Structures are given as C-alpha cells and as structure tokens.
Amino acid sequence: MEIGRAKSKHGLMLAPMAGYTDGAMRKVCYMQGAEWCVTEMVSAKAVTFGDKKTFALAKIGLDESPCSVQIFGSEPDVMAKAAERLSRGEDGGKAPDAIDINMGCPVNKIFGNGEGSALMRNPNLIYRIVGAVSQNTPLPVTVKLRAGIDSTLKNAVECALAAEAAGASLITVHGRTRAEMYSGKADLEIIKRVKQSLKIPVIANGDIVDAESALFALKYTGADGIMVGRGAIGNPFVFAEIRAALEGESYTPPTMEEKINTALLQLRLSIEEKGEEIAVRESRKQIALYLRSFSGAAKIRAAINVADSYGAVSSALLSALD
C-alpha cells in the first residue's frame, strides 16, 4: 500500500487513541512491526489559535515514519487552516506523512459539538471538509469513519464515497456505529461494502486484537490493511504477531521479562517527551495493561498506581520476576 510518498508493506496501522497514542506508545509499536501510526486527535480550532498543548500532541518524532496527524472539527475553513499549519511540522518535529480527519469519535463532548462521528449525519459537509483540507495541504488526506450513527443510519458507504470524491487518499472504517461506542461486535460487512464501493485503499478497524482476528478481517472485508486500536494498549507485540502470520512465519510470544522491559522502555520514552512527573502519571494505565496474565498482577498494579517516579515503577514491575 502506498499513500503519497509513504509505503506500507502490509497496511499494519496503529489507531489514534486519545490519551494513549503519544510518541512513546507509537515508537514501541513501530519497534514491534507497526507500519503506520497516527497521533492522538487534535482540535483544528486549537491549532489555529496556536495552543501549545495541542502542538505538543501533534508533534511527530524525527524517527517516526510514516505517521499521520489527526485533526477534528466541523468547519471546513478552520480544518483547512489547521491542516495547512500542521503540514509543516511544529516545534522541531517532522512533518506528518498525511493529514487524517476524525469522523469517528463517539464521545459525547465531541459528538455534541457536531464533530467526530456527528459529521456522518451530513455527507455533504464531509465532502466540503475533505475538499477544503485537500486544497490546503500538499499531503495526502485520509479519513477515519464509523459504520454510521446508529442502526437506522449505517451510512459509511455514502460518507466514504463523499470523502473519496473530495480527494481523500484512504479511508479507515471502524465497524461500530456511534451509538454502540465500544460495545458489541464490529460489523465487518459494512467495511466490506465500503471496500467494494471505493477505488482508494480501505483499512479495517475494530476488534482486531491478534493474528487470528486480523487475518479474518482482511479476508472477509478485502481491506488493504488493518488498524489496531485497544488491542495494542500494553501489547505492542500484537504487530509482530500479525506480521509473522501474514508472512507465514512462526511467532514466539514475549516472555514476562520482555514485556516488562518494553513497558519500561515506553515509560523512559515518555519521560524524555514529557518529563518524569507527567510521564509516570499518564503511563500508569498503559503499564498496568502490560501485566495481563501476570501472577500477582493486582498487587503490582496497586503499587504502580501510587508510584511517582521511574524507579518506583521499575521496582514494582521487576518484583514480578522475583
């Protein structure tokens, strides 16, 4: 798969997830085989206001490639201005490889403002937004959708066609409606229909947590790649597992020691990016998920939840090896 100047052998992508896919998580996922990552979503309006915290979220490391920056909003002119500014790269970071537009976020605050998945109520607005962004950036423009708003409005095909007509280079579809949030089961049939209707690449997203689910999604939908979301939190190894399956190679799951070392590496990368106090506080929820299947995990999580330094987190994790 080739989008602009960036190439991806298998289309193995890390989904944008607010509060999770910071530079540290993206880097450990690249190390394990992710071929394309996307930043946490950033407000287009905040970008146009020059908000420093927003630019920190949008910053892409010089060693992150390919990587998209994801923006959200509902006003075509504001989205266009934000895309134009972010296309240059900010605060010493590298320029993104694509601009991704969030049309799938289901949370009440975003939806209530007419942003994220609320855009799927108006395919004409989708066309205008994608067109405005495409005209104001030299980068490829990609779009992340859901299956629809609810069971009565599953219009991912119509919305995807509008985005394609306006100049989108790739569409990702999460197989749940906005009403379903993250419950129930992702509908692969709607992703298949989008793939059959478009000429540009389509990426399948939703319930992809291991090689088996990835291979099934690719075969069923005919998609050009898969995007892993929650399945990669505390488990960047999922990319190595999926890549091995796609290439017909054997896969050896990580040992407990390898999981701990990767968790600590992710924390060190986060500290480099944000400083120790913030990094330790924000990383607790991710590090806790590295402990799945560990004996005595509850006790270790309790220690991590009150840890205030890298040393304290390290001691808690390494106690699992004793």
Sign of the alpha-carbon dihedral angle for 101, 160, 232, 34: negative
In the chain, ranges of CATH 1.10.1200 domains: 256-321
Torsions phi, psi for 290 (to 5 deg):
-70, -20
- CATH of segment(s) 2-246: 3.20.20.70
Q: Give start-end residues of each CATH 3.20.20.70 domain in the chain.
A: 2-246
Give pLDDT, residue 294.
80
Residues noted as catalytic: 105
Answer whether 217's CB lies under 8 Å from 10's CB.
no
Q: 256-321: which CATH topology? A: 1.10.1200
117: DSSP letter: G
pTM above 0.75, yes or no: yes
pLDDT score for 321:
76
Taking a C-beta distance cutoff of 8 angstroms, is the pair 151, 180 a contact?
no
| Interval 179-203 mean pLDDT | 96
pLDDT top residue among 242 and 294: 242
Number of helical H runs and strand E runs in the chain? 14, 10
Mean per-residue pLDDT over the chain, rounded: 94
pLDDT band (50, 70, 90) for residue 91 = low
- What value does the CA radius of gyration of the chain take, rounded to a whole number of Å? 19
Instruction: Give the pLDDT confidence score for residue 288 in this predicted structure.
Output: 87
3-state secondary structure of 91: coil
Over residues 240-271, the pLDDT tens digits come to: 999 999 999 999 999 999 999 999 999 999 99
CA dihedral 230, 168, 22, 259 (to 10 degrees): 40
Mean pLDDT in residue range 11-38: 96
In the predicted structure, residue 183 carries a pLDDT above the cut 80 = yes
| Tokens found for residue 7 | 């190439």
Mean pLDDT of 43-63: 93
Residue among 176, 224, 187, 199 nearest 36 (CA): 224
